[in-house]
Each structure stands twice: as C-alpha cells, then as structure tokens.
Chains A and B, each alone.
Chain A
C-alpha cells in the first residue's frame, strides 16, 4: 500500500530546513542596522512560517513550536514597526541555533531533543507579552530617526526589550543600509552557515545545460574514438609498408653498398696506388644506396616513436572515454528520481475514483525505488493516470459482480516498476473482467476502423484499442470514456521513446506494460542509412536487426505493405522509400540489406533499410518547430562529424498498420459514391487528399505519377482527377494531354494541384486541357467549391 515514507519526507525536510535556517541566520543580524527593515522582516517571517509548517508535517513538534514563536516575534516587529533591539536579535539567533541543533540531531538519526526549548522559553514568552502591549510605532521613513523612538514605546518593557536603548548607531553608518549590513554579517558567515547532510538546491536548467554540454563532449569523444581507431588501422598499414620498404632497401644495400669495380670503370687518380681491396671506393649507386638505408632507418625510428605516441594517445582516449562516461552517469543520476514518488501521487486519486465508482479497490505499489529520469517521470503521470482510471472504471467489476464470479469482493490494482537493461518497465495490473475482444472488434467495425470480413488474431484485435479514433464515446464502457483514448496514451509514451503493450485474460484481468528508457538525455540509437542519408532509431524501440531477403514473387507494383517471416510469424514490413516516397533508391539498385524489427503496441513491424551501423550514443533534440508537423521524426541529432540525423519514429511510420493488418482502406466502403483519382508523387499529399476526399464521402484512388494514373484509369472509372504537375516517370502535363487524347477519359474533369504558382505553368496546364488550377497549400473551401462544380459534393 502506498504509505508515506517518513524517512524520505525527513530527507526533504532537512534539505528545506537548511535553506530556511540560512535565510534566517543571514537576515536576523541585518535587522540591527538595516534602513528599511520591512522587506527583511517579511522575508524572515515567511521563512519562519514555512519552517514551522514543514516541521509540523514531519512531526517535529519542538522545532515547529520554536519556529512558531520566532514567527510571532517577527510578525509583531513587522506589524508594529518596532526597532529590533540587539538582545532580541540574539534571542532569535539562539532560537535558530536550537532549531539547527535539532535538525542536526535528526540528520544524524537522533530524536528531537525537547530540552533545548527550556533555555529561552521564558524569555520568549516575556518578549511576546511585551510586544503584545507595545504600541504601534508610526512608520518612520528613515532608520536613524526611528532608533530613538522605541525608547518610549517600550519604556516599561522587561529588561530584554528595555536594552533596546543601546541600539544607537551613528546615522552615518546606517545609511549604506543593506550593503553595510551584509558586510557586517560577513565575518560571522562561517559560524552562521547551516548545513545538514550534503544537499544543495540546484536549478534544474543548470543540470540540463550541463547535460547538453556532456552530450556534446560525448559525441566528440565518440568521434575521437572512431578516428583514433581509423588512425590505428592506418598506422598498421604504414608500419607494414615501412617494414617492406626496409627489407627492400636492406636487400638493395647489401648488393650495392659496396661494389667491386670492373676494369673499365673510371679510377680516381688519387687512389690509384691502392688496390681494389685496399681502399673502399664508392660510386653514385653506393652512395645513394647508403643514403636510402640511412633515411629508411630514420623513418623507421620516427615510426616507432609515432607508434609509441599513438599507443599513449589511445590509452588517453580510453581513459577519457571512461571519465566522460562516469561523469555522465553521475550527472545522469543527479536527475534520477525514485519512481515511488510518482506512484504516491496516485494513491489518493485511486481512493477517490474507487469511491466515485462505488467499487472497493486495493491499490498495491511495488518497485518504488526504481530510479527514473526526471523528464520521463513528469511525462508518465498522464498516461499512467489514464490507464489507472480505465482499470477502475472498466476493468474492475462491481463487488456484487465479483462475488458472483467467485472473486474476492475487493478488486486489486497494482502498479510496479523494475529495471530491464537500459529500460524501465512499468506494469499496471488489475484483476478485473479483462478486455472483451469480441466487443473491441465489434466496436472497431462499427467505427469503420476494420472491415467486417477481416480475419484478425487476438493480438491484432487488442492492438485495435491503440488506434486513432478508437475508444471515443462509443467505447465508453470498455475503455476510457473520457474522450482521450489509448491512442493518446500510446502517443504520449512514444514521445518519450517508450512503448506500451497489453495482455488480458477474461475474468482474470488486464496488464498494461510500459517500457521507457531510464534516461532521456543521452539515448542509445541505431544508425541506418537509406539512399545515403543517415537516420537513427532509438535502440529501446528496436527488437532486432535482421538481414533482409527480398521475396522473389513480390511484385513492385502497389506493394505498399508486405510481410516477411520473423521468428515463425509474418510481420509487416515497409521500405523507407515507401515512407518518404522519394526516389533515389529506385528499382534496379537493390541496396535494401536489413530489416529493423520494431515493437509497436503489441505488434512487431519491420523497416527495410539500406545499411545499419552499430549502436551509438546520441543526444536527441526536439525537432525545430517549423518542422514539427513532420511527425515521422521524433527528434534530430547531430553526429560526431557534424551530420544532421533525423530520429525516425516507428510508431508514426506504421501508424496505419500498427492497428491491424486488415484495416479496410476507406475506398472499399462507399461503393456507390463518386470517385476521385489523386495523382501526386508525395505520399503525404496523397494521404492528405485521400483523407480530405474520404471525409467528403468520396472514393479515392491514388497514383504516384502520370503513368500509374493512366493504369488506374484503365481499371477504374473515376469522376475527377486531381493531379500534381511535377512528378517522376510521367509528369502532370503529359498526363493531362494523354487523358484528353483518350476518348473514354476525355470527359473527366482535371484539377491541377501544384506548388507552381507562375502564370505560365497555369497557362500551359489550361491549354492542355486541365479544368482547374490550384496552388498548394490549397484552401479547403476552394477545393470544396470545385467538387461542387463537378457535382462530387452536394451543395450545402
């Protein structure tokens, strides 16, 4: 049960108390000399007040009482605008020391000492009584004048207060107020600084900045590691070549360093008296051979030194690697929080929601000490809350129903966390009715998310609840009923590079399993290329990378989504080229070597890519807001050598397929409706237009270029063509003129939808036979008007 951990609370109290004690210990002495005491008194009052409250919460009654008295004293001086006499200041400091003593005791594990109060209790009471009686002093504008006033005001006061007379500072010293006061306090600073335990408070943004810097250092370091490995390979090659050179040179030298001259050779007259073997003679070749040998030896020596240097350098880099890594993990730890603190936040809402729903629910929490990055911590609250609400509202049955099923009347919801490698796994488990797959399917069919004749496995049906559009009002009794479906939950979790899966068993309950990286700042990513562009996918989302063997029979045409066999089951795969619908890696140039298998809400899906590089560490930055609509990217990273790499979000790539294999294409639905052919090389434009037209009850065919469009037109009758101009294979102009040349197609109205707004583009299109010319991005109303014009839309 989510009980409040007292020792944990104490720890926070200690950190907090330190702050307030320091505020008080710096502020109180300042009261003596400050020109304008009101702001100081206010700050001190606030500190004492908060300290009192905090101490009361952790049941430190003595501390709370002392802080309370302190608060009262400060309050009286504040309200009555009295000068604070020196010995009152001392009294307050004494009280402060007492609190500090208690806090110190507490932090070393001792109990609160209630004797400390005795030292000043009477004096405090007397002072408070005097203050009560003391008349309010007219607000004096300046401190010096005021210094005299209290003499009368507190004339009859007890000794403690009467001594206020002594507060007679010469005005000259009082004027530089705050500055002087602080300075005066300075020498005492050491003895007044309170510090318990080893806490400091730090602006989270500071840590964030440090993280970014560490991230940059990590990237650079990784780059250096790689370069140093390259240098190692290079030096080995050079060394090998050098060895061969040495051998060659030595062999050459052996033969040519000396030579027995033949008789025809020119003989130096100076040496003529020496015989051949009596004096060595060198010709050009000998000299050259010797020189080469010497040089080679020099080079070999330098190489040796260089190798030595390289080895040290490599050791240094390795040390740097270790240091940077541990620095990073230390810093990373500083951002880590116990997930238990997040779990605790659910304790009350669960109680309340259970009460509201009229159900009896036990709430279990485990794995509270699992550490998680603060950023992720914050972002988990909403999705967890949503799922817990689901469990209470729709998972756990009413107690009568439970009793009828022979279950314990009290339902159980457990929230647990554990670490699995670099990930944190959080499970929300209930022992309720489980999810009725039959009803999920029925609902999905009703909502047009899946076709009636689709054959879906149990897993596929379950994954339907994560679909966009599912579990809205109509599905209230099964899932949320709050308008935000599991789709939102999945997206929220995907934003922190996490995944969510569920298992359910009738009458046994449902388990949602969330997997998130334990840290956000630096993410392990897999780098892959497509068409020589580098992308990354967070490693936490990747199941496995396998070799891609293209199936023989797979036809290129229209194969938007195909399947491969992965560990015995068929999984959906998609080529990166389909995702972007860009050219570059077209037919013929087969480079698709690997499949990255990702796990997206209960389903395994594969992305076919050109090449996959090893795992790397990267700092993922958010996408520039100008580009944020490109939801296939969840962020951007910069590689060690300064390349921009886009972070691919597999969830978005497989958005349509993530739900089920057999999601009906909207086309199938409105058999009798009017039909539009959308021709555009951009997949997103096609998708956008398809959504636009389907929403207006039109059946949509699509083609990526003019040639495909003509093929579509051969097979299907359409009532309108919406075509782009610039497309590969066959452009829009050609399409328009071809359509106009074919008898049975001639009557079909054509809307050219292009990003070209130049007059001559338009003239040419109209000249060739286009009926309308629209410039992207188009106004929905303009398009609707055109649809009405060609009777594809009822006049509203």
Chain B
C-alpha cells in the first residue's frame, strides 16, 4: 500500500479529489481525504449491506470500503486495480473504492461542483443502523 501526497488548497480556492466508479466520477473535498491506498486484499463482512465491499486493515485499524456503484445507478464496475480513498468523517475513517487513480483539481471557492460527496451526510445516511438482529 502506498501513500500519495494530498495537496493543500490555496486561499480563495478549493481543491477536490476526483475519483471514478464505472462511468461516473465523484468528488471529495481534498481536505477530507486522509490518504489514498492501493488495495492488496480486502476482507468481506458477511451480513453487511451490499454497498459495503469489505474491510481493509490499515495500521491496526479497520476501514470499511464503500462501493458507490451499489448506491448510485452505475453499471457494475470491474474494480480490477482499485484504489481506496480514505476519508476522515465523524472521527472515523471510511474508504471509497475508485477504479481510477484519483487526481486533484482546484477551483475558485465560489464555483459549485456537481457529484460532490458530502461525507458527513453520507456517513449519516449509510451508516449501518441496527441491522443484523431484525429489531427496530
């Protein structure tokens, strides 16, 4: 697993990390991306919803890897040489699978970008809530 340099945004500008799943591209605010790693092996989590591709051990912690193709309408991606973008959110780390090598782009702050993942609301929406024992 290698670590890549994550650029800092200059004043008045905002940097995003662009990654791809299938035919779609998604953006993450660069400052939320902790690191980008190559995936050597990933472990399944039986019982988890299908958008959780598996879990990856990283320096003694376990990072769940999210497959966005199970959340957004995307043709089944190949994930032949996937990368994992590790994002810090709510004091936890979660990872997004990417089929492409992520790259960084910088825009002026006032430009609105599409396909930006709001990690906080993503976390709240897709965090597993009380599954596995059928009680609600």
Contact = CB atoms under 8 A, between A and B. Distances in A.
Interface of A: 212, 216, 468, 530-531, 533, 579-580, 582, 621, 623-633, 636, 638, 642-644, 646, 652, 655-656, 682-684, 686-688, 690-692, 755-759, 761
Contacts of B72: 757
A626 B92 contact: yes
A684 B93 contact: no
Interface of B: 43-52, 55-57, 60-64, 70-74, 90-94, 123, 126-136
A626 B47 CA distance: 14
Contacts of A655: 133-135
Contacts of A756: 73
Given A630-B132, A652-B133, 15 more contacts: A533-B44, A621-B62, A624-B94, A626-B126, A627-B48, A630-B131, A631-B133, A632-B132, A632-B133, A636-B55, A686-B134, A687-B134, A691-B134, A755-B51, A758-B73
Nearest to A652: B133
B87 to A, nearest CB: 10
B90 A625 contact: yes
The 3 tightest CB contacts between A and B, nearest first, are A687-B134, A629-B128, A758-B73
B46 A629 contact: no
Nearest to B43: A644
Nearest to A757: B73
Contacts of A644: 43, 55-57, 62
Given A626-B64, A632-B47, A691 B57 contact: no
Contacts of B56: 644
B28 to A, nearest CB: 15
26 contacts: A216-B60, A468-B135, A531-B46, A582-B46, A624-B55, A624-B92, A626-B92, A627-B55, A627-B64, A627-B128, A629-B128, A629-B130, A633-B45, A636-B55, A644-B62, A652-B132, A684-B132, A684-B134, A686-B134, A687-B134, A688-B131, A755-B49, A755-B50, A755-B51, A755-B70, A756-B73
Given A468-B135, A625-B92, A688-B131, A580 B73 contact: no
Contacts, number: 120
Contacts of A468: 135
A621 to B, nearest CB: 7
Contacts of B60: 212, 216, 621, 638
- The binding surface of chain A is classed by DSSP as mixed
Contacts of B134: 655-656, 683-684, 686-688, 690-691
Nearest to A216: B60
A631 B130 contact: yes
B60 to A, nearest CB: 7
Contacts of B51: 755
A642 B57 contact: yes
A621 B61 contact: yes
A580 B131 contact: no
A475 B61 CA distance: 43
A582 B48 CA distance: 10
A511 to B, nearest CB: 28
Nearest to B132: A632
Most B-side CB within 10 Å, residue of A212, A643, A644, A758: A644
B62 A626 contact: no
A499 to B, nearest CB: 17
Contacts of B46: 530-531, 533, 579-580, 582, 646
Contacts of B47: 579-580, 582, 630, 632-633, 684
A494 to B, nearest CB: 12
A688 B135 CA distance: 7
B128 A630 contact: yes
